């Protein structure tokens, strides 16, 4: 049987659709307060009968920080897809994010070793990779370097990977995927899907940064292909295209029929913006819309290689960025109309 963590998230919900559609019975860990309605919504994007597939899912309440609940949930499990993680760029959530991403992953792999799980897929991020200077391509071999520019999220994902590699040394068969910025629909208030909500409302500023982008459907498909293969103890960078953030948002605005961003937000403007936002949130107690970490990443020029995954699966074709955006905008408008 297959176990999935983070099943209500962007990657997890699409992974669950692919697994159940192929006839797999899946056990999914969730917290007591998790909202599983998002999974049904994602399933409804791709099938007229989501309930039929949802019946193949066994939901189990568990906590990544509760070792005993994880061990119990792994009874009879042969494969694990570990998608659960906390994403935050707020200083006040640093400790919680470290516990969930690092300690939670450590608990997962320890329980998997104890239960004799055959294979473990860990969803990491390009955030855990190093960066190549002077516009070169970051690859699986571009290893982490300590830097004051590293975000707390990056540090937490790097720490989580170290726990997975440690488990591999102790005998657990693992694969790690490092997706670039994921494009896809589901919960329009969370993670990268929230960018479509912001773009629909209108974005006036654009940054000078570049990044890699990948469709969530490709991420789910490649995770399954890697788990079904004999490949173990390797990591794979998952990236469809490299593009500027300006081009990315231009495509979204075009798909929505909205005016494109016309004001360049350089380092001075973004620097002022995150400081002003810090003051606003200090006064109001609300969640910041921009932080020091997000302002730095918005102007960072990063590009990523997909050579290794395409060499491993030469027949695989990534969904082009423009198609990913058009499909996601269509789903957004469909949900908005309901």
pLDDT at 208: 77
DSSP 106-139: HHHHHHHHHHT-SEEEEE--GGGS---STTPEE-
Distance CA 187, CA 42 (A): 9
Bridge-partner residues for 159, per DSSP? none
pLDDT at 294: 52
Run of H or E residues at 337: helix 321-337
Domain boundaries, the chain: 2-184+213-240+303-319
CATH superfamily of this structure's domain 2-184+213-240+303-319: NAD(P)-binding Rossmann-like Domain (3.40.50.720)
- Per-residue pLDDT of the chain in tens (338 residues, 90 and over written 9): 999 999 999 999 999 999 999 999 899 998 887 788 899 999 999 999 999 999 999 999 999 999 999 999 999 999 999 999 988 777 777 889 999 999 999 999 999 999 999 999 999 999 899 877 667 899 999 988 877 778 888 899 999 999 999 999 999 999 999 999 999 998 888 878 888 988 888 888 777 788 999 999 999 999 999 999 999 999 999 999 999 989 999 999 999 999 888 766 655 544 434 344 344 444 444 454 454 445 556 667 889 999 999 999 999 999 999 999 999 999 999 988 87
pLDDT at 265: 61
With residues binned 3-state (H G I as helix, E B as strand, rest as coil), the percentages for the chain, rounded to 5, are 50, 15, 35
pLDDT at 289: 46
Please say whether the dihedral angle defined by the alpha carbons of residues 101, 319, 36 and 287, taken in this order, is positive or negative. positive
pLDDT at 176: 98
Residue from 224, 236, 244 nearest 303 by CA? 244
pTM, rounded to two decimals: 0.91
Distance CA 257, CA 265 (A): 22
């Amino acid at each position: 049987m297959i176990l999935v963590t983070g099943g209500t998230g962007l990657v997890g919900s699409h992974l669950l659709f692919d697994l159940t559609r192929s006839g797999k019975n899946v056990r999914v860990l969730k917290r007591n307060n998790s909202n599983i309605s998002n999974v049904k919504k994602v399933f409804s994007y791709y099938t007229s009968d989501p309930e039929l597939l949802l019946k193949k899912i066994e939901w189990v309440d568990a906590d990544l920080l509760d070792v005993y609940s994880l061990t119990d949930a792994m009874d009879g499990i042969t494969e694990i897809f570990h998608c659960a993680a906390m994403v935050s760029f707020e200083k006040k959530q640093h400790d919680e994010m470290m516990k969930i991403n690092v300690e939670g992953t450590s608990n997962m792999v320890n329980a998997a070793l104890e239960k004799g799980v055959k294979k473990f897929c860990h969803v990491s991020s390009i955030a855990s990779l190093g960066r190549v200077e002077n516009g070169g391509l970051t690859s699986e071999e571009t290893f982490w370097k300590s830097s004051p520019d590293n975000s707390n999220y990056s540090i937490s994902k790097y720490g989580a990977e170290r726990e997975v590699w440690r488990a591999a040394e102790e005998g657990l068969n693992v694969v790690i995927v490092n997706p670039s910025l994921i494009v896809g629909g589901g919960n329009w208030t969370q993670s990268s899907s929230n960018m479509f909500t912001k773009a629909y409302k209108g974005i006036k500023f654009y940054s000078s940064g570049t990044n890699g982008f990948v469709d969530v459907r490709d991420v789910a498909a490649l995770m399954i292909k890697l788990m079904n293969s004999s490949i173990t103890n390797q990591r794979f960078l998952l990236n469809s295209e490299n593009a500027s953030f300006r081009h990315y948002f231009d495509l979204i605005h075009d798909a929505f029929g909205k005016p494109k961003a016309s004001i360049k937000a350089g380092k001075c403007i973004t620097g002022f913006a995150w400081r002003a936002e810090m003051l606003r949130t200090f006064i109001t107690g609300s969640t910041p819309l921009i932080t020091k970490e997000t302002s730095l990443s918005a102007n960072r020029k990063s590009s990523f290689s997909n050579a290794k995954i395409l060499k491993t699966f030469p027949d695989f074709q990534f969904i082009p960025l423009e198609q990913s955006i058009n499909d996601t905008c269509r789903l957004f408008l469909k949900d908005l109309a309901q």
